[in-house]
Amino acid sequence: MRPLLREHGHELLTPSYTGLGERSHLAGKDVDLEAHIADLLAVIRYEDPKDPVLIGHSYGGMVATGVADRVPDCLSRLVYLDAFVPRDGQSLLDLLGAEDRARMLDAARVEGGGWRIPPNPMPQDTSEADLAWATPRRVMQPLETFRQPIRLTGAVERLPRTYVYCTRPGPGDVFRQFAQRARSERGWQYVEIDASHNPHITAPALLAAVLESVTTGRPMDNGP
C-alpha cells in the first residue's frame, strides 16, 4: 500500500502493536487493548503527522476508536476498513456471536497456552504468492486485547467517520453489523468495496483508489 498511496501524494505509516509484527518478542499475558491504544498514541505524538487520517482494519477498529476518542483534535478523519466499531464498555469478544466467541476462546486454550489467539484463516481469494508472503508474518495475538472492554467518552463521534465494507463474504461476516450501523446512524460516510476481508493484500490498487476518494472527497476514477 505504501507505494500506491505515495503515488496519490500520501505518506502511510504502518506501526505494529506490542506483541505483533517486528514487536512479537514483546508479547505477554499482560498486553491488552490499552497497550495497543498507547502504541498508536505514541506514534501520533512522536511522528506528529499533519491532519492524519487514522485507518483501523479488523481488530484495529477497536484500537482506532480508542485513539480517536483520546485525541480527536489530532485527526482529520477516522476510517474503519472492515473493522470492529465498539461502543463504550464493549470488548471485541462482546461483538462476536456466541459460536465465534467460543471458537476463539477454545483456540486460545488449545493452541495459545490459554493467553494467545491464533490468527484467522486468510480469505479464500488470497493468491498463493500472497499466502507465501503473509503466512510466516502472522503470529498469535494476546487474548487480553480481545477481552478488555474499551472506555469511551463520546469524543470519537465528533470526527468525520467512514466505514469501508468489504462485500465478499467471509466466515460469519461479523462486520455486516457495523456496515448496517454506518448506514443507519448520522455522522457516517459509507462505502462498499468488492473485495474480501484483506483488501490491502488482495486488492491494493482498488483500496488505494477508495482511500484516495474518501480522503479527498473526489469520486473514484474507474477507468475507461
Using CA atoms of 146, 148, 151, 155 in order, give the dihedral in degrees to the nearest 10: -20
User: What is the rounded CA–CA span in Å between residue 21 and residue 18?
Assistant: 8
The number of residues making up the chain comes to 224
Decide: 190 and 163 in contact? Cβ < 8 Å: yes
Active-site residue 213, yes or no?
no
User: What is the rounded CA–CA span in Å between residue 95 and residue 84?
Assistant: 8
Cell 476481508 belongs to 197
User: What's the burial of 146, exposed, middle or buried (CB within 10 Å: 0-12/13-18/19+)?
Assistant: buried
User: What is the rounded CA–CA span in Å between residue 208 and residue 7?
Assistant: 10
In one-letter notation, the amino acid at residue 200 is H
Task: Check 16, 24, 58, 184 and give the catalytic one.
Answer: 58
**Which residues are known to be catalytic?**
58
